[in-house]
Amino acid sequence: MSLKSSTIAIHNGLNEDTQFGCVVPPIYLSSTYNFTGFNEPRVHDYSRRGNPGRDIVQRTIAQLEGGSGAVMTNSGMSALHLLCTVFLQPGDLLVAPHDCYGGSYRLFNSQHQRGAYQVQFVNQNNQDELLAALKKKPKLVLIETPSNPLLTIYDIEHIARLAHEVGAFVVVDNTFLSPVLQQPIALGADFVVHSCTKYLNGHSDIIAGAVIAKEEKWALELAWWANNIGVTGGAFDSYLLLRGIRTLSPRIKQQQSNALEIVNYLTAQPWVKKLYYPALQDHAGHEIAVKQQKGFGAMLSFEFNGDEQQLCRFLSALTLFTLAESLGGVETLISHTATMTHAGMSAEARAAAGITDSLLRISVGIEDSEDLIADLENAFRVAAQR
């Protein structure tokens, strides 16, 4: 029987305990497991390599994304690093989006500088620029859609087809939407990566990542290397991640509903110079988003129409919007991109990506949307005071 994503999220791992009949899977905190005899290991021998709880959450994430297998890592960055470790050697080329997450940019750029592999940051919506990069026969092409923080939409199916024609593997960062709203493997991706810290967990209380592979052989290869370099997720984080995934679908739906209300409010605000959200008809990627997504998500960005002092007053006056990095939790967060999530990018790189010093990014939570809008209204009023 083919199950829907909300059912998969709820039922994976339930009623599997045969010893005590636990409905919810227990936390397996043991670091090591005994052998049944000489040279007779059990399924698990050491928790870095495998943990029963991590097995369940990996299976759940793989099924949600339509993959053959998944590896849970100890952060979203280690998930990306794992992929690059497995598939890239010195001289190999990674093609990455010019407006990707600041931590991803920092990782790729620093590894490029030390000669681990080559990276080229391109505007993947510029056909000439993309084709020129693909002529160099990259090993990996990373797509981040919607992008962080400008919510740029990239056509996964189109880019994947072009990348496969030159023999490249295609990786999609699906952190912003989750498998509830987008399934890149069905659109041609070979791998999907997540910062599970974000929507999959949804409660801002763990750091974790995941790589999902379309083919089983690559899932096994990734698992071997994850154990080899020690980037697998821990037992307690596995438990919390699985618990968070249980409510993924209803959380996403409420957060997206709230985001739409906030976007409608911000469109009429004189303090908003430019608003970035794919549901808007004038958003450059609106039609592609409609084609490849099941919704527009709960992330939005806008350029603040005021000076730095007014911006500071606005941020200080917010009470329900927490000034913090990260995203995807049940609480609403706001961040100043240039000094927070993308501070690791040079000013020149940010400018090339279109990231201005006035850009603010919002991760909408599940609070009452009327309360959130009232908080924004008051903060804009404080910003206007002299």
- Catalytic residue annotation: 48, 101, 173, 198
Distance CA 379, CA 361 (A): 16
Instruction: Please state the three-class secondary structure of 285-321 as a single string.
Output: CHHHHHHHCCCCCCEEEEEECCCHHHHHHHHHHCCCC
Q: Which of 112, 153, 158 is nearest to 134 (CA)?
A: 158
Alpha helices in the chain (DSSP H): 5-11, 52-65, 76-87, 102-113, 127-134, 156-165, 178-181, 216-229, 235-246, 248-266, 286-292, 308-317, 347-353, 369-384
Buried b / exposed e along 289-314 (16+ C-beta atoms within 10 A): beebbebbbbbbbbbbebeeebbebb
Q: Is 361 left (phi over 0), alpha (psi -120 to 50) or beta?
A: beta
Strand order of the sheet with strand 209-213?
69-73, 209-213, 191-195, 169-173, 140-144, 93-97, 118-122
In single-letter form, the type of residue at position 337 comes to T
Query: Which residues, in sequence order, are CB contacts of 126 under 8 Å at separation 6+?
Result: none
Query: Which residues, in sequence order, are CB contacts of 12 under 8 Å at separation 6+?
Result: 56, 59, 60, 63, 242
Distance CA 150, CA 176 (A): 12
- The number of CA neighbours under 13 Å toward the Cβ of 95 is 26
Please say whether the beta carbons of 48 and 233 come within 8 A: no
Q: Which of 197, 192, 198 is nearest to 233 (CA)?
A: 197
Displacement of CA 276 from its chain's centroid (Å): 18
Phi and psi (nearest 5°) for 198? -90, -120
Residue owning tokens 């939407």: 177
